[in-house]
Chains A and B, each alone.
Chain A
């Protein structure tokens, strides 16, 4: 990185550290922070949308739709995350490849399952085996987002389902008395008011999601915990210019600070959001705000 880094063995103190912390490997660590943050930024809204759809479906008056919603919530909430991440991702990947195989290679005669092997024609591979590394990375990342969204969407659906029921029934009755259709009452009265009831549960989910990102490594994506372990492990002088003993403790300490800082920041944002959503609500929080204002 810097011009004086050509012979690290001759360096010491801060100059050594500045070289050490800017090796390609460390760059990969810094980059993986971006990966984790991007994953959170994409997954959170997706999971929320999925949760909203699930909750709406579960309280629908159309029976099959309601069953579907409740089935989704029950199944995903019941399966352990780690099993879901190991099983579902491989199943999803193979499912996609199976469908592509059926469309692209209709005259393929060999079986797809050969003993332990899962064999599809090369045109059906996802991504194609000619694809470059970044395409593989993007595909793996997309699988991760989908899996995270499905898992956390089920929890979010349950939270929202509860929140929808917590809105005082008098609100809906009043809306109907004004002549609103059930659909109008749902969108104009129920949905805007339910968020304050959903927020504590959704806040919890967000905190759990932040800490669940190391599961990424199960999907073949190098996340921050992987790099911290890899970089912190003892290094002998034969294989690196920067030999050092076991430094995993320091790397994990840095991760601890990152995670704590991030959850603190999230708490502050959630706090403000709660205040905002409490305005005009018939809750203790809303009442306190009203009294403070007068």
Chain B
């Protein structure tokens, strides 16, 4: 009981100070090199470094949270966190629901990965695996090829291994390291250019915060520090 009173008192106090608001950054934590959990269980990757730098430049206190990819937009609009920074490509469909900052990566080519020995595959008639709610899934559906969707990037790769799908379509920067390290998987030569680059997603009512991040991204583009990060994590072309 005593403890309870103490905590309530402490809460009341902190509520009084308040308003050095923390900005909560939501990410998936399962899409290297953009974002992933490192061995220590912390969020790491290109977007971790980028996000921390952007927050420093915009003079915001930021905090990282992970969220399932499927519910990442609904949880943003209902206010569980303030920003999506999860390798999310800017598309007109998403732009109707949320707002985006300017892109911080170039439109990244998407690549097909197949089992080694299957390089002659004609992708227009093949079964293609993609992660649900991604630009790649939308692209395959539009192309008219049979699409199998999975909740996580990992499962799309397994689908190719088990033969459930002939190829997986995903960001090239995600697939390239995997194809490099696994002799049984190979990238096709054919690339697809989809999407308008990756940006941060914010609530449409949050214009002020969006402007702050926009300015911070611009300043990183101007002084070349963004290019350094892009090269370090190999997430496509530089600006």
Q: Is A90 an interface residue (CB 8 A)?
A: yes
Residues of A contacting B44 in the complex (Cβ-Cβ under 8 angstroms): 239
Bound together, the chains give a CA A248 to CA B154 distance in angstroms of 10
Chain A 35-65, CB-CB to B under 8 Å as 1, else 0, gives: 0000000000000000000000000000000
Bound together, the chains give a CA A133 to CA B81 distance in angstroms of 12
Check B42 against A24 for contact (C-beta < 8 Å).
yes
Interchain pairs with CB closer than 8 A, number: 117
Known pairs A94-B78, A123-B15; A116 contacts B37 (CB<8 A): no
Residues of B contacting A233 in the complex (Cβ-Cβ under 8 angstroms): 30, 152, 154
Which residues, 8 to 40 on A, are CB-close (under 8 Å) to B?
Answer: 23-25, 27-28
Residues of A contacting B15 in the complex (Cβ-Cβ under 8 angstroms): 123, 128
Chain A 199-225, CB-CB to B under 8 Å as 1, else 0, gives: 000000000000000000110101000
Q: Is A118 an interface residue (CB 8 A)?
A: yes
Q: Is B32 an interface residue (CB 8 A)?
A: yes
Q: Is A287 an interface residue (CB 8 A)?
A: no
Check B154 against A246 for contact (C-beta < 8 Å).
yes
Which residues, 56 to 76 on B, are CB-close (under 8 Å) to A?
Answer: 63, 65-68, 71, 74-75
Kindly report which residue of chain B lies nearest to residue A25, judged by CB atoms.
B41
Check B181 against A130 for contact (C-beta < 8 Å).
no
Chain B 217-239, CB-CB to A under 8 Å as 1, else 0, gives: 00000000000000000000000
Q: Which one, B20, B39, B154, B203, contacts A25 given CB within 8 A?
A: B39
Which residues, 25 to 43 on B, are CB-close (under 8 Å) to A?
Answer: 29-30, 32-33, 36-42
Which residues, 82 to 130 on A, are CB-close (under 8 Å) to B?
Answer: 86, 90, 93-94, 97, 114-120, 122-123, 125, 128-130
Kindly report which residue of chain B lies nearest to residue A136, judged by CB atoms.
B65
Check B177 against A238 for contact (C-beta < 8 Å).
yes
Q: Which one, A25, A229, A236, contacts B32 given CB within 8 A?
A: A236
Q: Is A242 an interface residue (CB 8 A)?
A: yes
Check B154 against A24 for contact (C-beta < 8 Å).
no
**Interface size in chain A (residues, C-beta < 8 A):** 45
Check A25 against B68 for contact (C-beta < 8 Å).
no
Check A128 against B78 for contact (C-beta < 8 Å).
no
Check B33 against A246 for contact (C-beta < 8 Å).
no
Check B203 against A117 for contact (C-beta < 8 Å).
yes
Kindly report which residue of chain B lies nearest to residue A116, judged by CB atoms.
B77
Check A27 against B78 for contact (C-beta < 8 Å).
no
Residues of B contacting A129 in the complex (Cβ-Cβ under 8 angstroms): 21-24, 82
**Residue in A28, A86, A239 whose Cβ sees the most chain B Cβ within 10 Å:** A239
Check B14 against A130 for contact (C-beta < 8 Å).
yes
Q: Is B204 an interface residue (CB 8 A)?
A: yes
State the Cβ distance, A240 to closest chain B Cβ, in Å: 6
Q: Which one, B18, B30, B33, B82, contacts A230 given CB within 8 A?
A: B30
Kindly report which residue of chain B lies nearest to residue A122, judged by CB atoms.
B21
A-B contact pairs, 5 of them (CB 8 A): A114-B205, A117-B79, A129-B82, A133-B63, A233-B30
Residues of A participating in the B interface, judged by any CB pair closer than 8 Å: 23-25, 27-28, 86, 90, 93-94, 97, 114-120, 122-123, 125, 128-131, 133, 136, 217-218, 220, 222, 229-230, 233-234, 236-243, 245-246, 248
Residues of B participating in the A interface, judged by any CB pair closer than 8 Å: 14-15, 17-24, 29-30, 32-33, 36-42, 44-45, 63, 65-68, 71, 74-75, 77-80, 82, 97-98, 152, 154, 157-158, 161, 177-178, 180-182, 203-206
